[in-house]
Amino acid sequence: MMSAISLYALAAAVSFYLIYKAQIRLQLSRAKHASLRGHSNWSRRIARLIPFFSYDEAGFFACDGAPLPVVQQRRNALQQLQARTERQCAKTLDHCRSIQNNVSDVKFTSRYRVPFPFSEQLPECFRLGSMAEETRGSQLKDLDGNWRYDLSGSYGVNVFGYDFYKQCLEEGIEKTRALGPVLGIYHPLIAENVEAIRQISGLDEVSFHMSGTEAVMQAVRLARYHSGKTHLVRFCGAYHGWWDGVQPGIGNTRKARDVYTLADLSERSLRILESRNDIACVLINPLQAFHPNSDAPSDTALIASDRANGFDKREYTEWLHRLKAVCDQRGIVLIFDEVFAGFRLAYGGAQEFYGVHADMVTYGKTLGGGLPVGVLAGTHRLMARFKDDQPVNVSFARGTFNSHPYVMGAMSAFLNRIRQAEIQQQYRDSESLWNRRVAQFNHRLRSEKLPLQITNLHSILSVIYTQPSRYNWMFQFYLREAGLELSWTGTGRLIMSYSFSDAEFDDVIQRFVNAAHRMQEGGWWWQSPALTNKAIKRQFLVDMLTARFPALAGRIRGPLIASGRQKRTGRAPDQDQYSSKVG
């Protein structure tokens, strides 16, 4: 029988162990960002609880408590904008309608262009996507012959302008035409491509994949394979592709818990890296410096005017240097995910831009010269897919279309062209050029007294709204009418190519200003003393709660409802209640 002393010692040991585990868990929790983005499990649970609800026609125009004259002003403005859009883009819209129920991506983007309570009342012509049949330089043409400046950037592909990539494609096909789509057998161009990527990345080996997501998947697998550790670290809000392994929050169906989402720019996160023994790698998306600890800005999340982003190069450079030192000390693989920003920030990518050398780097988008590609570069040790002394212990990764000859041809043309003196000079001038252009942009917005500001990381821009509003998401449709093509995420990210001349950029500013004045004339930026960002978000929370729990509708009152707005029923507020707020 165990003695009392032994029992006491066992209880003490168990208590000590439980306290130690609790402290470790608390330390990890404190290193996460305080928002739901930093707590993946809770974000998924709460996402399942948020109900869909839709404002009716009257509520669509008056959910901010606007008076009847402003409501009618908005109604007229939307009808006129719809009529102009249907007339100017008739053929394009017809083609988009023909695929909207048969292409799953189109169904998704059509639903998520604006905050979801407005989507059902939004005219169909604004929910549909775009189609184009021709490009030139910085512009593209839709099926109706409308030319627009491209601010979508083809998700980051278009760094140098469309003519540049069409030339890469033509050169690439010419180089590989004789071989055709032979797979598994390499075209000799692969050797010069690998050598160029090795020189640019400063790393030893290269593997080719079909997408940036695949390249990141391979980097993480190899880091785990060689370290013997289980977990990866990503930073709050960072995007590393759509696969569940690096998307642990909303959108993830994977149950394995082998991802730590930590706060960016955080001392506590560094302490986690210093203290834990299960971390195989850290993923860095250089674009995250533009919006640390926040998701990429999108108009579907424009509930109020509290979008905030901005770039502090000195701060983020210092952070990356400290992060690199900790990773080196702890044997953690530092992976730069340059799929989006690679070959935009500098010739040597984010490594050159920030002056930090990573252990592995992933590329994609523009490196394919216009064709789809993912590339991973790393050290000899990390890139090995087998162990010399364990012949059956391998990390297998092969893809049918990896190293496709046509991709190798277009990539060769791209890599040769960016080595030319003209492009190298563009790289040297680009950061200061785009900062100057954005300063000019903001000066014009201030002089026009518009409630807008532009922020940027290099040639990637974002629109900030400087006064409270529930209707900022409408601005994307005025911009499109003005001849500016945006991606489905709207004004959150404007991706501009190096091909924009100063004159073209001035034209973009003028079109932007014209669109903003039309937005103002439509009454969408109406103001009231009660209309604060805090009040707007509180109102939205009330709307969600009453949609989830209808019985509470008569008990919960948000500040805007208390002012007279009727949720969902859309009963127009009494004009007398707002007469003192009309400006």
In a domain, 549, yes or no: no
Residue 339: per-residue pLDDT: 96
Q: For residue 432, give the H/E element and its range.
A: helix 421-447
Among 340, 498, 357, 238, CA closest to 348: 357
CA dihedral 307, 313, 314, 316 (to 10 degrees): 70
Residue 189: per-residue pLDDT: 97
Question: What CA–CA distance (Å, rounded) separates 197 from 125?
Answer: 44
Residue 16: per-residue pLDDT: 63
DSSP 469: -
If DSSP codes are grouped into helix, strand and coil, which group holds residue 113?
A: coil
Same domain, 337 and 449: no
User: Which of 498, 521, 544 finishes a domain?
Assistant: 521
Among 206, 211, 350, 216, CA closest to 282: 216
Same domain, 272 and 380: yes
Question: What CA–CA distance (Å, rounded) separates 264 from 297?
Answer: 17
Per-residue pLDDT of the chain (583 residues; tens, 9 = 90+): 557 777 676 666 666 666 656 666 677 777 888 887 777 777 888 888 888 899 999 899 999 999 999 999 999 999 999 999 999 999 999 999 999 889 988 888 888 899 999 999 999 999 998 899 999 989 999 999 999 999 999 989 999 999 999 999 999 999 999 999 999 899 999 999 999 999 999 999 999 999 999 999 999 999 999 999 999 999 998 999 988 778 777 777 777 788 999 999 999 999 999 999 999 999 999 999 999 999 889 999 999 999 999 999 999 999 999 999 999 999 999 999 999 999 999 999 999 999 999 999 999 999 999 999 999 999 999 999 999 889 899 988 877 888 999 999 999 999 999 999 999 999 999 999 999 999 999 999 999 999 999 999 999 999 999 999 999 999 999 999 999 999 999 999 999 999 999 999 999 999 999 999 999 999 999 999 999 999 999 999 998 888 888 877 666 655 554 333 334 433 333 333 322 222 2
CATH number of the domain at 104, please. Answer: 3.90.1150.10
Same domain, 462 and 358: no
Question: What CA–CA distance (Å, rounded) separates 188 from 176?
Answer: 10
Q: Is 246 in contact with 234 (CB distance < 8 Å)?
A: yes
In a domain, 388, yes or no: yes
Same domain, 329 and 254: yes
CA dihedral 253, 254, 259, 261 (to 10 degrees): 10
Question: What CA–CA distance (Å, rounded) separates 369 from 169?
Answer: 7
Structure tokens at 139: 């512009």
How far are the Cα atoms of 13, 88, 246, 260, 483 from residue 40, in angstroms, in the given order? 32, 44, 11, 9, 39
In a domain, 271, yes or no: yes
Residue type, 50: I
Residue 107: per-residue pLDDT: 87
CA 513 to chain centre: 25
User: Which of 487, 506, 521 finishes a domain?
Assistant: 521
Same domain, 386 and 434: no
Same domain, 117 and 243: no
Residue 106: per-residue pLDDT: 87
In a domain, 387, yes or no: yes
If DSSP codes are grouped into helix, strand and coil, which group holds residue 389?
A: coil
CATH number of the domain at 214, please. Answer: 3.40.640.10
Among 204, 153, 159, 158, CA closest to 361: 204
Q: Is 459 in contact with 497 (CB distance < 8 Å)?
A: yes
Residue type, 47: A
> How many structural domains does the chain have?
2
In a domain, 45, yes or no: no
Q: What's the farthest any 2 CA atoms get from each other in the chain?
A: 91
Question: What CA–CA distance (Å, rounded) separates 465 from 230?
Answer: 42
Structure tokens at 518: 């039309």
Same domain, 362 and 275: yes
Q: Is 215 in contact with 362 (CB distance < 8 Å)?
A: yes
Strand partners, 205: 378
Q: Are strands 374-378 and 386-387 parallel, antiparallel or unpaired?
A: unpaired
Q: Is 362 in contact with 336 (CB distance < 8 Å)?
A: yes
Among 421, 434, 397, 401, CA closest to 347: 421
In a domain, 532, yes or no: no
Q: Is 188 in contact with 523 (CB distance < 8 Å)?
A: no
Q: Where are the beta strands (DSSP E) in 416-511?
A: 452-457, 460-465, 484-485, 494-495
Same domain, 281 and 370: yes
Structure tokens at 223: 């880091």
CA 129 to chain centre: 18
Structure tokens at 17: 């162990």
In a domain, 328, yes or no: yes
Structural domain boundaries enclosing 100 = 63-159+429-521
User: Which of 521, 551, 571 finishes a domain?
Assistant: 521
Same domain, 462 and 377: no
Same domain, 342 and 276: yes
In a domain, 50, yes or no: no
Same domain, 382 and 473: no
Same domain, 140 and 67: yes
